[in-house]
């Protein structure tokens, strides 16, 4: 059986420690500021998190692109030439066109590499929810499963990724077309923070509003505790948009409720950050199926 390479993209916000631990590669999207495209590196080689988030705090717009078709072609071709099959775990197709582009490129490439496999998985999640799906794929790879077997198993459980993300406002997400919800959740109410999830079809939707920072962090921790299953067998991931103090406090709250929890903290990366704005914070775990939140 051919060896398998697991690949994700910039929307996964997967920190280098986890990419190295699970031997996961990622393909870069781009941010666009003042007409200039810059690779959306999760290691922040091209600008710092503070640079991005201060730009957004100042009211400046940063737009994004999906993974370029030529990047898919180049990287997939390299993997196939080296004898790898590929499992690409891409950002929710409700939020990005990368899954569709990857599928088209994969079909074309396999005409030239009939012995290879490129399997495209729609994570139906973004940010570190997408990372959770990619990590699951890597764990299945390490158990010896083929690319197609990995995709089948991941597709069966991807709706068990639970995302709880608090934002200052949904207005940036709405402007970018990255959130669904009724009008009662939109606007800038002082101190009120909407909490969003990723639903069964991969849309971001708000489920509740909380008042104040302390209540927000307590609610994120409690939602996680209520949702999580088998916490000892997984990584809990916390992502923040340049509000590390909140992330550390959330980590402590979760550890109080789930002693021994294996928690990683990282930045919300350039692509998600450009849409969600500064000071957002989210937590991602495996747990109950999200079908309990109606579409």
The pLDDT value given to residue 96 = 94
Q: In this structure, what token pair is assigned to residue 32?
A: 């666009």
191 or 176, higher pLDDT: 191
150 and 187 in a common domain: no
Domain-ending residue, one of 132, 158, 184: 158
Q: Are residues 135 and 230 in the same domain?
A: no
Q: Say if residue 179's pLDDT is above 80.
A: no
Say whether both 147 and 202 belong to one domain: no
What is the rounded average pLDDT for all residues in the chain?
93
Q: Are residues 100 and 142 in the same domain?
A: yes
Stretch 195-201: mean pLDDT = 94
Sign of CA dihedral 165, 167, 20, 236: negative
Confidence of residue 293 (pLDDT cuts 50, 70, 90): confident
- Residues 8 and 149 both lie in one domain: yes
Q: What is the pLDDT of residue 191?
A: 72
Whether residues 110 and 234 fall in one domain:
no
CA–CA distance, 185 with 173 (Å, rounded to integer): 12
Q: Which strands make up the sheet holding 118-122, listed edge to edge?
A: 24-27, 3-9, 84-90, 118-122
| pLDDT of res. 174 | 63
pLDDT band for position 143 (cuts 50, 70, 90): very high
pLDDT in tens, 36-81: 999 999 999 999 999 999 999 999 999 999 999 999 999 999 999 9
Same domain, 194 and 141: no
Mean local confidence (pLDDT), 235-260 = 97
- The CATH number of whichever domain residue 213 belongs to comes to 3.30.1180.10
Residue range 146-175: average pLDDT?
90
Alpha-carbon distances of 283 from 3, 9, 103, 198, 238, rounded to whole Å = 32, 19, 29, 12, 4
Tokens of 101: 């582009």
Note the pLDDT of residue 173.
74
Q: Look at the chain and report how many structural domains it folds into.
A: 2
Opening angle at CA 223, ends 218 and 229, nearest 5: 130
- Per-residue pLDDT tens digits for 104-139: 999 999 999 999 999 999 999 999 999 999 999 999
- pLDDT 10s digits, 261-275: 999 999 999 999 999
pLDDT digits (tens, 9 = 90+) for 2-36: 899 999 999 999 999 999 999 999 999 999 999 99
Name which of 232, 276, 221 is nearest 254 in CA terms: 221
CATH number at residue 137: 3.40.50.10170
Based on the domain organization, do 148 and 195 belong to the same domain? no
Range of the domain at 50: 3-158
Average of per-residue pLDDT across 143-158: 98
- Whether the per-residue pLDDT at 228 is higher than 70: the answer is yes
Residue 274 parent element (H or E): helix 270-276
For residue 232, the model assigns a pLDDT of 94
- Of the ranges 41-45, 180-184, 279-283, which one carries the lowest mean pLDDT score? 180-184
Give the model's pLDDT for residue 181: 65
Last residue within a domain, chosen from 139, 158, 177: 158
What pLDDT band is residue 183 in, cutting at 50, 70 and 90? low
> What is the pLDDT, as a whole number, of residue 186?
57
The pLDDT, as a whole number, for residue 188 is: 64
Answer yes or no: do 139 and 113 share one domain.
Answer: yes
pLDDT at 216: 94
Same domain, 73 and 171: no
Supply φ then ψ for residue 156, to 5 degrees: -75, -20
146 with 212, same domain: the answer is no
pLDDT of residue 141: 98
| Cβ burial 85-113 (10 Å sphere, 16+ → b, else e) | bbbbbbbbbbbbebbebbbebbeebeeee
Q: What is the pLDDT at residue 177?
A: 67
- Structure-block tokens of residue 168: 């200052």
What pLDDT, on a 0 to 100 scale, did the predictor assign at position 184? 53
110 and 253 co-located in one domain? no
Is the pLDDT at 189 greater than 80? The verdict is: no
Last-in-domain residue among 158, 176, 209: 158
Q: What is the 3-state secondary structure (H, E, C) of 114-145?
A: CCCCEEEEECCCCHHHHHHHHHHHHHHHHCCC
């Amino acid at each position: 059986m051919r060896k398998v390479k697991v690949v994700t993209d910039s929307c996964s916000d997967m920190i280098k420690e986890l990419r190295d631990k699970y031997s996961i590669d990622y393909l870069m999207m781009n941010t666009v500021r003042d007409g200039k495209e810059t690779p959306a590196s999760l290691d922040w080689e091209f600008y710092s998190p503070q640079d991005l988030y201060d730009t957004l705090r100042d009211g400046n717009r940063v737009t994004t692109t999906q993974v370029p078709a030529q990047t898919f072609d180049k990287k997939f071709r390299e993997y196939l030439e080296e004898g790898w099959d590929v499992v690409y775990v891409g950002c929710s197709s409700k939020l990005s066109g990368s899954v569709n582009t990857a599928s088209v490129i994969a079909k074309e490439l396999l005409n030239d590499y009939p012995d290879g496999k490129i399997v495209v998985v729609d994570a139906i999640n973004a940010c570190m929810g997408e990372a959770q799906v990619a990590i699951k794929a890597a764990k299945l790879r390490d158990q010896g499963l083929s690319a197609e077997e990995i995709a089948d198993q991941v597709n069966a459980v991807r709706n068990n990724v639970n995302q709880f993300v608090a934002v200052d406002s949904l207005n940036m997400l709405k402007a970018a077309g990255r959130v669904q919800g009724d009008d009662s959740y939109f606007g800038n109410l002082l101190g009120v923070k909407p909490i969003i999830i990723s639903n069964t079809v991969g849309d971001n939707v708000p489920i509740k509003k909380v008042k104040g920072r302390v209540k927000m962090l307590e609610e994120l921790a409690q939602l996680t505790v209520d949702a999580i299953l088998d916490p000892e067998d997984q990584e809990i991931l916390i992502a923040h948009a340049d509000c590390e103090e909140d992330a550390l406090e959330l980590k402590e709250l979760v550890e109080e409720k789930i002693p021994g929890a294996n928690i990683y903290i990282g930045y919300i990366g350039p692509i998600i950050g450009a849409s969600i704005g500064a000071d957002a914070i989210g937590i991602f775990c495996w747990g109950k199926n999200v079908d309990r939140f109606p579409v």
